[in-house]
Amino acid sequence: MKAIRYVLGKFIVLLDWVFTPSSVQRDSQVQKQIEEELKSMALYQFETCPFCVKVRRQAKRLGLSLEYRDAKDNPQHREDLLQGGGKIKVPCLRYEDPNGHMQWMYESSVINQYLLSRFPPDLKSS
């Protein structure tokens, strides 16, 4: 079973690489502002997890250079996920809320909706 999961995972990553979505193009000032906001975010993930691939593809479509943290092979990231989020489950987006508190968001669909609402493709400079 472990071998099948490994092969399928690598196949998913290969397909993701072959069919990488194109990124939205934004005004450079807007993109710079987004990059600054992204410094307080990190996605805890496993490379071959299909749900993590789903979030990485959304980030790519939205032109977001999220920090990816491997919670499978990196013991420190795994421990940070457990201590901060409360469980070893991926994908998990760690972000800072408007009050400056760190939040931990699970579930790929919820994360994707959050990223889309926070960084819409048609975001204009303010």
Which pLDDT score, from 0 to 100, does residue 123 have? 65
Average pLDDT over residues 83-97: 96
For residue 34, count CB atoms less than 10 angstroms from its CB and return exposed for 0-12, middle for 13-18, buried for 19 or more.
Answer: middle
Average pLDDT over residues 74-99: 96
Question: What are φ and ψ of residue 119, in 5° steps?
Answer: -130, 65
**Residue range 15-68, pLDDT digits in tens:** 878 888 888 989 899 999 999 999 999 999 999 999 999 999 999 999 999 999
Coil, helix or strand at residue 115? helix
